[in-house]
Copies of this chain bind each other. A is one copy, B any other.
Amino acid sequence: MSRKLKVGIAGLGRMGARHAHHFHALTPRADLIAASSPDASELKWANANLDGVNTYLNFDEMLEKETGLEAVIIASATTVHAEQAIKAIRKGLHVLCEKPLSTNVEISQSVVDAYKDSRKKFPNQKVICGFSRRFDASYRDAHQKMKSGLIGRPAVFRSQTCDKLDPSGFFVEYAQFSGGIFVDCSIHDIDLALWFYGEDSIVKSVSAVGITAVSPELRKYNDRDNAVGIVEFYGGKIAYLFCSRMMAAGQEDSTEIIGTEGKLAVNTQPQSNLVNIYEASGIRREIPPHYYGRFRDAFITEANEFTACCLDNTEPPFRLEGAVSAVKIGCALQESLLSGNKINFDEVGRRIPKPQDGQLKAKL
């Protein structure tokens, strides 16, 4: 039997548990051998469900003690993403880090810097940020079609990440640490924009507005439950974004790439499966309640491709640097949302000081 990649996972929360399962059962070339979580109940779950996996209450201990560990999946709380990623990078491990690297631009950059530094020593090391949509079959088909020239030159990009309303109010507490709706939700759309427009695209301006239509308590954490934003790129390209926590029907993540000769639409007619229900009130179809219902296959592909690129020493599907650009744009949108100001950048990416430094704080 061919060699398998020895993988450890950090964090076994909702998405962590899923990643663990993907690497444990659905990634034939990977062996999940270790899992760490500061939450004992999560480790209990791991012991019951992840055959043969060693569990650790402490991430550092896992790195230190787990013999033969080759790669780490970081699916812990966002606040420790960067720290854990950097530790693993410095040990020469391959790293798949959940998005975002950090809600802070500088910290995000520090991960990239650590990786750059580490590669001098470990030239085959792979570090990627888990932008799951890059692994989705529909987005890949759209990207390939765009590359083949089917829509001419892309010029307008519309994308939305809209969650089903969670009446439990979970996302309000979550907003304390999420970096805000643009950093938490739209980061995916921003990453897609950079993918479709080219990762070297330079932002010219961002502007955003937001409201609290259902959860006014979000304001205390400087967040909103619905927001729209415009990202203008140099070279005549526009992305406009919508993010929401208020959808009634389910998850509505959809994207349009509008080119000079055609348009590609991804998931503009959401659906759970291929069933339609004809009943007295009309014709109905269900849609996925959560992003995982929409992107499960993409996450599994992510696990398999990450594993393959580590084992085969091939190029990762995309570069880590983009993850910083996405956070940078997301943070700028969030700031614009809060300050009410449009933010402008020059062609080398430096902010043009329209708003006075003092203004944002005053407003907040």
Chain A residues close to B by CB (< 8 Å):
1-2, 24-26, 28, 51-52, 137-138, 141-142, 145, 150-151, 153, 155-156, 158, 205, 207-214, 222, 226, 228-230, 232, 236-238, 240, 242, 244, 246-250, 252, 258-287, 335, 338-342, 344, 353-355, 357, 359-360, 363-364
User: Which one of B209, B244, B340 lies within 8 Å of A363 (CB-CB)?
Assistant: B340
Residues of B within 8 A of A280 (CB): 248-249, 262
Contact A262 B278 (CB under 8 A): yes
Contact of A355 among B2, B262, B335, B339 (CB under 8 A): B339
List residues of chain B with CB within 8 A of the CB of A211.
155-156, 236-238
Name A263's contact: one of B153, B249, B269, B363 (CB within 8 Å). Answer: B249
Q: Is A155 a contact partner of B226 (Cβ separation < 8 A)? A: yes
Q: Is the CB of A283 within 8 A of B268?
A: no
| Contact of B151 with A260 in the complex, beta carbons under 8 Å | no
CA distance A344 to B230 in the complex (A): 17
- Check if A1 sits within 8 Å of B51, measured CB to CB: yes
Tell me what chain A mostly uses at the interface: helix, strand, loop, or mixed. Answer: mixed
> What is the CA–CA distance of A151 and B272 in the complex, to the nearest angstrom?
19
Interface pairs A-B: 9 shortest CB-CB: A263-B278, A339-B360, A155-B213, A138-B274, A282-B286, A249-B278, A211-B236, A25-B28, A267-B274
Choose from B145, B228, B247, B275 the contact partner of A145 (Cβ within 8 Å). B275
Alpha-carbon gap, A266 to B286, bound state (A): 13
| A212 x B228 contact (CB < 8 A) | no
Q: Are B364 and A338 in contact (CB under 8 A)?
A: yes
Please give me the residue from chain B that is nearest to A248 by CB atom. B262
List 8 extra interface pairs beyond A1-B51, A240-B240, A339-B363, CB under 8 A. Answer: A141-B275, A156-B226, A212-B236, A230-B230, A248-B261, A249-B278, A265-B275, A270-B283
> By the criterion CB–CB under 8 Å, are A232 and B248 in contact?
no
Of B52, B208, B240, B287, the contact of A1 (CB 8 Å cutoff): B52
- Which of B209, B264, B360 interacts with A275 by CB under 8 Å? B264
26 pairs from A and B in contact (CB 8 Å cutoff)? A25-B28, A26-B28, A155-B211, A156-B211, A156-B213, A156-B226, A207-B230, A208-B230, A209-B238, A211-B237, A212-B236, A240-B242, A249-B281, A250-B282, A264-B275, A264-B276, A268-B276, A269-B283, A281-B284, A282-B286, A282-B287, A283-B284, A283-B285, A283-B286, A339-B363, A341-B342
Complex CA–CA separation, A283 to B2 (angstroms): 43
